Amino acid sequence: MPPIRTLAFVINAEKEGASELGRTLAGIAERAGVAVKQTSTFPVASGYLKGQDACCVIGGDGTLLGVAREAVAEQVPIIGVNRGSLGFLTTFSADEARAHFTGILGGSYQVAHRSLLDCSTGPGSHDLALNDVLIKDEVNSRLVRLEVVADDELVTDYTCDGLIFSTPTGSTAYNLSAGGPIIHPAAEVIAMTPICPHTLSNRSIIFRHNVKLRVYNLGENSRILVAMDGQRNLVVCAGAPVEISVSALKLPLAQHIDYSHFSVVRTKLKWSGGFVEKRA
């Protein structure tokens, strides 16, 4: 990759050690002649990444999600350094960042282009999601009745706590917790997973990348909440469809040269090897 000459930092100061790590990495960058700017505010302001070669996010996946829309708009690769818990998106550990940051600045990294969901709730009202779109009743304790249509073909009606529409990147987030499948990030599909459905045969469905999905609220006198990446919410009245599709835009995400998705999954989810019986 080309060397990084301008670098924006986004630091979640509430994460233990994040501010100190930010100072260390910024110092490495400045000594390498890289122009540096930084903020601890996220979601970042519109235009913050304009003219930047890359953005280093220090925090957890939630911090990175607060930068994603701006990174997509400016097509600036995100270097995610994990100071949170799981960190599926912030793929560099603090130790790896310290040890390899000079090489990263010199271009020793690869960029994966992660797919996004485009969600529309009406004319002029749409948003992008890197992980998932959640549709549920506006009141947490209520069941929701939703009808799902794929390319003008009825899929089915759901009575459930909600529906999760996930990208492959988001398959290891809420989708996984709700019993959905783990999907390789290069698959370019949409996973739909019902939350606590009232029919035992209702399971996740995988849709092709160019599907056009519409979701209708069938509940009378109820409104549904549409949440993008668990951060941005819209409320929709009954009868108005929620439209979901794969966006033409993608998020550029910086990774190790030898990045392995399944290595990350094994580590983060603490997968072990095969069972070996101990002999007396």
Mind telling me the catalytic residues? 61
- Tokens representing 280? 């007396």
Cα 269 to Cα 107, 149, 155, 182: the distances in Å are 30, 33, 32, 11
Can you tell me the distance from the alpha carbon of 80 to that of 56, in angstroms, rounded to the nearest whole number? 6
DSSP string, the chain: -PPP-EEEEEE-TTSTTHHHHHHHHHHHHHHTT-EEEEE--SSPPTTTTTT-SEEEEEE-HHHHHHHHHHHHHHT--EEEEE-SSS-SS--B-HHHHHHHHHHHHTT--EEEEEEEEEEEEETTEEEEESSEEEEEESSTTS-EEEEEEETTEEEEEEEESEEEEE-TGGGGTHHHHTTPPP--TTS--EEEEEES-SSTT---EEE-TT--EEEEE--TT-EEEEEETTTEEEEEETTPPEEEEEEEEEEEEEE-TT--HHHHHHHHTT------PPP-
- Tokens representing 28? 């490495």
